[in-house]
Amino acid sequence: MKDMKISTQNILKELAKNYPDQTAFRKNVIETTAKSMGYTGKDFYPMLTAENRVKIGTYDLSALLQTVEVNNKVVDISAPAAKMQSIVNDEKTFAKADPTFVPWGAFHDLVKMIKSEMFYPVYVSGLSGNGKTFMVEQACSKLNREFIRVQINPETDEDDLLGGFRLINGETVFSKGPVLKAMENGAILLLDEIDRATNKIMCLQGILEGKPVLVKKTGETITPAPGFNVIATANTKGKGSEDGRFTAASIIDEAFLERFTVAIDQKFPSPSIETKILNNHMAKFGSEDSDFVEKLITWADIIRKTFYDDGVDEVISTRRLCHIAQTFSIFKNRAKAIDLCIARFDDDTKSAFLDLYSKVDAGVETLDTTEDENGETA
């Protein structure tokens, strides 16, 4: 039992309570019991093993039920809403101001939206490593707003977002998830990489309308406090990855996407902005080298232009440039820093990128770029 999920233990306890003289159960009885408690397949499937199956559709749970009887305690999971508590740390979380951050792109617009305290769901998309999450974090830091980040993946479900039953001090209680905590505290909720989610996130659809949410497992209604807002970041626009670059990206339900008031398509920073960013990182690590920074920016800009023209399959992101700056601070060797930070690319791409940098370093390659008013490369 100690290695079994709390939710599975609770289902067993409920079966023991409802059917005290029974040890074998039809699958539909187990499933109905689990769903009546607010649980899903992943909570009762651990019982449906080949070892426990006595015939098609029937499972002997006697070994598991014996463990429940040893505990000699059936926990009443239908606890009233008043017993709800959150195992998410009750302390408010705030993003720290980062001295390397340089405002650009939609940063100032995002600050205005958050400052208004209007419910204004925002969907921010863009290539990996171009500062989407960092921008949201620093906007919250600037306004000293509580910031709750949830990393979305294909396994993220209602329990992860809204909360579920947990064993605390020997009692089974409902613990509120990060979404409910953000609603109650009037915090900014960041759903990071939301395009990795499945339809399990449809439980947030009503919340994206700024409406109170009924917690089915407890019957309590949570009303969003003033200032609560939802911001989602993604590598795609919710339509899947057309070029296959982001293989984990899913197609998000159109009705779900429609509930985002604003959509921001974030590009990479312009050369002038990115120069400031890299100089800040170089200073942070005590390895200032303005000449190296200038050449890295030129090198990355050429690669990005070629990438957008479908000439190469890889791109050098702002994050990658910052990694190179950090690695350079350790080895004090330009070529080695670049080599180590692009080692994940295939051999041909890596060789081409290193050769390109050699030309940039020698002053052979140049590239004219234009910038828009937000500091993005046009």
- Give the integer Cα–Cα distance in Å for 192 and 160: 14
Q: CA-CA distance, 203 to 286, in Å (whole number)?
A: 47
Whose structure tokens read 């005590």?
286
- The one-letter code for the residue type at 265 is D
Structural domain total, the chain: 3
CA distances from 165 to 46, 179, 182 (A): 17, 15, 19
351 & 281 share domain: yes
Q: Domain holding 156: CATH number?
A: 3.40.50.300
Instruction: Indicate whether 48 belongs to any domain.
Output: yes
Domain presence at residue 373: no
**What separation in angstroms does the CA of 43 have from each of 6, 167, 212?**
9, 15, 27
Structural domain range at position 11: 6-76
Residue that is last in its domain, among 56, 76, 96: 76
Provide the residue-wise pLDDT of the chain in tens; the chain has 378 residues. Answer: 445 777 888 888 888 888 877 888 989 889 888 888 888 888 888 889 888 888 888 888 887 877 654 344 444 434 444 344 544 446 788 999 999 999 999 999 999 999 999 999 999 999 999 999 999 999 999 999 999 999 999 999 999 999 988 877 777 788 899 999 999 999 999 999 999 999 999 999 999 999 898 888 888 899 999 999 999 999 999 988 777 678 788 999 999 999 999 999 999 999 999 999 999 999 999 999 999 999 999 999 999 999 999 999 999 999 999 999 999 999 999 999 999 999 999 999 999 999 999 999 998 845 555 555 566 664
In-domain check, residue 297: yes
Question: Do 279 and 225 fall within a single domain?
Answer: no
Identify whether residues 19 and 153 lie together within a single domain: no
Tell whether 153 and 234 lie within a shared domain.
Answer: yes
Same domain, 117 and 249: yes
Would residue 146 count as lying in a domain?
yes
Question: Does 248 share its domain with 277?
Answer: no
Q: Which residues contact 275 (CB under 8 A, 6 or more apart)?
A: 293, 294, 297
